Amino acid sequence: MRLLGVKVMRSPSEGRISEAAATGEYNRLMSVMTHDLRELRFETGYLSLRQIQRGSGEMVSVATAGKAFNGGWLSREDQLMAVVRVLLSPRNAKGEVEVDSLVPETHQDLMAWRKRWRALALLRAAVPRDRRRLRAARDAPVSGSDESSPVSVALGASGAPRAPGASTDLSSRTSPPLIHTLSLGGRALRADLAAGLATRLLSIPTESGGHNSLAFSPDGSVLATGGQDGVVRLWDPVTREWVEEFRTGLDEAVLMVAFSPDGALLAASSADGIVRLWDRAARLPVPDPPFGHTGKVFAVAFSPDGEHFATAGSDMTVRLWNCATGQLAGEFVTGQDRAVYSVAFSPDSTLLATGSHEGRTRLWDVSSQQGVDVLTGHRGAVYAVAFSSTLLATAGEDATVRLWNATTRGQIGQLHHAGPVRALVFSSDAALLATGSSVGTQLWDLAAHQPTTKPLTGPDTGPVRALAFSPDATCLAAGDAAGAVHRWALPPTQQT
């Protein structure tokens, strides 16, 4: 018998599917289908679970839709079909699906998903009840995938069957590997992330010199990129279409981009020593004066409370600016003769961390602009710093990421890389840490201080300069020196 393109053995004596074979194939193919369902959701506009519930005419609940995207078996065919039908249907002006505009039940792509569900149901029926694992990947070994195992038919972005190894408008990929998952911070991370299943989110011509910085808007509607050509571009992360751009007026490289917490302001620092602000609603630059340094401005960051933003650069200074007035609110005296590469505010906006060429990370009291501590340990420049709750991460030229307790200021961990680490970012739910280096992007288990998978790479990923998590922590974007931005779709955190 062949199900989903997979040969399943029959027992010579009983004439039924082997229990072991059925269990293994069901687990594997269920994982593949779950992966493709998540991809379909992302590629068709990433509707929320509530929007899917409304679009289905309340046929599926929020919990049921969430179960489908997280690998749970939906015992009723019509429930899964309702989810897929909503994803495949056109949207109204508000970006939602209306019940009376759903694609017909006979829609070709919907039929393909129905055929897949029924084939899986046959396999599942052959699995003894006590051996059913609805989230089978939790029990699978973490290392390696069986490249020689039978290959299933995978679904493309439209939900239609796609032949193994066929190219799409996304990155080309061969047949789906066995998909294992790791439990981390309440979410299941798939080992297929390490298999090159990156989507080319967008590509800027290589003459632009690649991406130095990425930033999602607080509502996740746009992704800002800053590169060597002096242009800040805004992109729709779902459609991958260009939305608008902000020009600095010079050909100097944009070194950092950042959104204010309310999304009203967009800041960009550049190699000409100026930090420019744009009013996103008016699509106009904020009036003079420009915010400047006497050298390259490597870093800019807004405080979480929206009151200030900080800038730092090659002139060895760190400056604090008032968002409301645009006036200088203070300057941190570093007492050093080396460039400052990175700045980050603590979640409560009371502390500012700065990383410099001298290899030290300094902590400052924002209200008094006085230094409160100096963290040492890196051998070489500190290129990136980031806070998450009481945790502070620093990354540097010495190919390490060091983890610090921001309260006691003691080092609590060290993560080793194959090359200098240029970027790092925490997910908003504090479950993940992503780091970028010359060998790609790495996700880390913060509890074990170990990588969750091999480095994440696309088919042609260059050295990673910039990283950004979407606000809901279900998308990770990486910008490389070759001018491309890749993204990985991540499963949502499971609340327990």
Q: In 3-state terms, what secondary structure has residue 418? A: coil
Is 3 contained in some domain? no
Residues 421-463: tens digit of each pLDDT: 999 999 887 878 999 988 788 888 777 777 876 777 655 566 8
Average pLDDT, the chain: 75
Residue 89 lies in domain: 10-135
Same structural domain, 236 and 385: yes
Q: Assess whether pLDDT exceeds 80 at residue 38.
A: no
Neighbouring residues of 422: CB distance < 8 A, sequence distance ≥ 6:
383, 384, 395, 436, 437, 463, 464, 465, 466
Is 1 contained in some domain? no
Is 386 contained in some domain? yes
Q: Show which of 119, 135, 151 is a domain's final residue.
A: 135
Is 223 contained in some domain? yes
Please list the helix, strand and coil fractions of the chain in percent, rounded to the nearest 5, in that order.
Answer: 20, 35, 45
Residues 288-310: tens digit of each pLDDT: 656 778 888 999 999 999 999 99
Is 480 contained in some domain? yes
Which pLDDT score is estimated for 87?
94
Same structural domain, 377 and 474: yes
Same structural domain, 128 and 208: no
Q: Show which of 135, 154, 184 is a domain's final residue.
A: 135
Is 153 contained in some domain? no
Same structural domain, 115 and 203: no
Same structural domain, 237 and 349: yes
Is 224 contained in some domain? yes
Domains in the chain, number? 2
Same structural domain, 130 and 208: no
Q: Show which of 85, 103, 135 is a domain's final residue.
A: 135
Residues 330-349: tens digit of each pLDDT: 998 777 668 899 999 999 99
Q: What is the CATH number of the domain that holds 485?
A: 2.130.10.10
What is the rounded CA–CA span in Å between residue 184 and residue 356? 31
Is 151 contained in some domain? no
Same structural domain, 109 and 235: no
Same structural domain, 211 and 346: yes
Q: Are 444 and 433 in contact (CB under 8 A)?
A: yes
Same structural domain, 448 and 307: yes
Cα–Cα nearest to 201, from 162, 160, 233: 233
User: Alpha carbon of 325 to those of 286, 328, 329, 449, 456: distances in Å?
Assistant: 11, 9, 10, 42, 42
* E strand intervals along 248-375: 254-259, 265-270, 274-279, 284-285, 291-292, 297-302, 308-313, 318-322, 328-332, 340-345, 351-356, 361-365, 370-375
Same structural domain, 119 and 260: no
Which pLDDT score is estimated for 384?
95
